[in-house]
Amino acid sequence: MTDPLDARLPFAVMLNPQAGRGLAGREWPRLERELRARGLPYRLIQADSGPEACAALAQLPADWPALAVGGDGTAHGLLPELRRSGRALGLVPLGSGNDLAGLLGLRAGDLGAALDRLTRPPQRLDLLEVTLSDVQRGVQPTLLLNGLGMGFDAQVADLMTLAPARLLGLPLAGFPRYLWAALAGLRRLESAQLRVTLDGQPFYSGPSCLAAVMNGGRYGGGFQIAPGSDPQDGLLNVVLGTQLSRSALLPLMARVLQGRHLDHSQVRHARAQYAELIWQSPMQTHLDGELAGRHEKLSVRLLPGALSFLSGR
């Protein structure tokens, strides 16, 4: 793809004004000034949902790069159109958790640093293709950029919507909200029998309270669930919590914050290109932080270098 800045192609600025509890919308005037000061041409598109954003983006020339202004969910919502068209993606992190941005060393609100990265040649990032399978819903393929969680992680994502309003005013509000929800989630911890197959080979069979399949390394605004994960290495990362009680899970969470949990006796982890998870009973599921209901079975396939990305390190 032609370097968008050399050709002075306009950026399709995909603004989710509700991202970060309205932070993206409030910061748009400042971002607009930064774009103009750098002489970066753009067309603004405001959309409140992924399908709406994809439909609008699809009407623009395929060589126009997209600039996602919001959180991980804003970038996630654009993936179907980015995959279809092959257009490049840039990122201005103004969401709550900004976990993809954190993995790449971008700080929320540092608009200058985010725009400076757009001058670099595009890189290729891996994507995950997830298929949720059950009798009622059939087969639903979904593209992910950061990762997914089943069990406790998804319970926490659900509980985040109930976090006290006072937490929203704190800096990097995604992290305190996640921590509050994680502590609340301990009271309703669920476990079930889980069978995991990696690249067609058995990896784990036994009780589990959480399973994460990651392309990125963190979620919840700072929990380092898959330390060392690299979205350019052609491998997905699987992390499982096995037979964990409430009392064991709490100190383990502190280790996850620092990325020191992979050597824990009740944690299993591995890398692969294809993973299949089958639970004995349906477990709460999130995809790139978005709740997806309860599912018994899913498969994840890594798509190497499937995304052209302008905001890499």
Q: Which of 141, 155, 127 is nearest to 235 (CA)?
A: 127
Q: Name the domain boundary from 76, 92, 121.
A: 121
Where a domain ends, among 101, 121, 141? 121
- Let me know whether 145 and 226 are in one domain: yes
Q: What is the CATH number of the domain that holds 150?
A: 2.60.200.40
- pLDDT tens, residue by residue, 283-295: 999 999 888 999 9
Q: Is residue 5 a part of any domain in this protein?
A: no
The reply to whether 31 and 115 lie within a common domain is yes
Q: What is the pLDDT of residue 100?
A: 79
Q: How far is CA 71 from CA 107, 143, 253, 268, in A?
A: 12, 16, 23, 29
Flag whether 174 is in a domain.
yes
Contact indicator for 12, 57 with CB cutoff of 8 Å: yes
The answer to whether residue 45 is domain-embedded is yes
Boundaries of domain holding 107: 11-121
Same domain, 167 and 301: yes
Among 92, 121, 150, the domain-final residue is 121
pTM, whole model, 2 decimals?
0.88
Domain count, the chain: 2
pLDDT in tens, 189-239: 788 999 999 999 999 999 999 999 999 998 876 789 999 899 999 999 999
